[in-house]
Amino acid sequence: MLVAVQALQSQISFLKSLDRNDVSNGISGLSQYLAKVNSSINKRDLLTVELRVGHLYFRNYVKLFDPKYGFTRDVVAGVCVCVCFLTSNRMQPMPLITHF
């Protein structure tokens, strides 16, 4: 559980460091989930919080990229898939997959 708390604290710190209003709701939500992680004692609750944190974090993370770059977030079977479609003719789409 310590790793989950540290990762969540890191995500909150990163979003705070951006000093952007459009991610303030994400910071607030992640902070609420951090309180739940600290008080959760069973594995099922932790897994539920972890899934919701991933969704919330990536929903705010995509805001960091100009829409013209086509950065999108799709959730497939519990896996957050971030795909950046590069506009260059030489570059192919690069899937970045993070499993929570």
pLDDT of amino acid 40: 67
Per-residue confidence (pLDDT) for residue 54, from 0 to 100: 86
Neighbours of 56 (CB within 10 A): 19
In this prediction, residue 86 carries a pLDDT of: 43
Reading the chain (100 residues) residue by residue, the pLDDT tens digits are 677 788 899 999 999 999 999 999 999 999 999 988 888 668 888 888 888 898 898 888 888 888 777 776 654 334 455 444 444 444 444 444 444 4
N- to C-terminal Cα distance for the chain? Answer: 13
Q: What pLDDT sits at residue 67?
A: 77
| Segments forming the whole domain that contains residue 94 | 2-99
What is the total count of domains within the chain?
1
Q: State the SS3 of the chain.
A: CHHHHHHHHHHHHHHHHHCCHHHHHHHHHHHHHHHHHHHCCCHHHHHHHHHHHHHHHHHHHHHHCCHHHCEEEEEECCEEEEEECCCCCCCCCEEEEEEC
The alpha carbons of the chain give a radius of gyration, in whole angstroms, of 15
